[in-house]
Amino acid sequence: MVKKPNIDLRSKNIAYEDGKYIIKLLTFKKSNMTLDIAVFEKEKFIKNSNIVFAHLPKKIKSLIKPL
């Protein structure tokens, strides 16, 4: 079985606003369709977290285009 790779998104600088927070995408894990993210508030780092690909805005999904 071929292991699905993780895709490093740091170099693409993909970010979007979610309310008062700015979400920056770090890594896309193809195996379980999740993303590692960094959460910022007014350019101040708050925390690292992860979200499901389905919760991304459509504009951001189109930039990643999972296979």
pTM of the model: 0.87
Place of tokens 């919760």: 55
Summary mean pLDDT of the chain: 91
Determine phi and psi for 5, rounding to 5 degrees. -75, 160
Tokens coding 15: 């970010």
Which positions of the chain have pLDDT values less than 50?
A: 67
